[in-house]
Amino acid sequence: MIPSKWLMLPAGGLLVLAGVVLFWSPLPIGVPLVMLGLPLLLRHSAVARRATARLFRRYPALRRLLPRRRRRAHPGSREPR
């Protein structure tokens, strides 16, 4: 069973928020938390995807830092043309 979108959005948001807060702590836990939370937000939030696309357009060097993922087609979905 796939977790609901309404469970994943707050979980991703909390992970990102905790990662930003803990970024300046002596323990190096902030960056991994942000790296766990961002994919959850990007997967389930159109607003987060648009903001990320805008960020990549404004700062093209960021695209080199992050690997590109291909979108997997869900069973029964049409292939894009």
pLDDT at 18 (0 to 100): 92
Residue 80 lies in a domain: no
- Does a structural domain hold residue 46? yes
Q: Which tens digits make up the pLDDT trace of 12-64?
A: 999 999 999 998 888 889 889 988 898 888 888 889 889 988 988 998 887 77
Q: Give the range of the structural domain holding residue 42, as residue numbers without chain letter.
A: 5-64
Would residue 69 count as lying in a domain? no
Q: pTM for the complete prediction? A: 0.65
Domain total in the chain: 1
Q: Is 80 exposed, middle or buried (0-12, 13-18, 19+ CB in 10 A)?
A: exposed
pLDDT for res 15: 92
Q: What's residue 67's pLDDT?
A: 64
Question: Other C-beta atoms within 10 Å of 37: how many?
Answer: 20
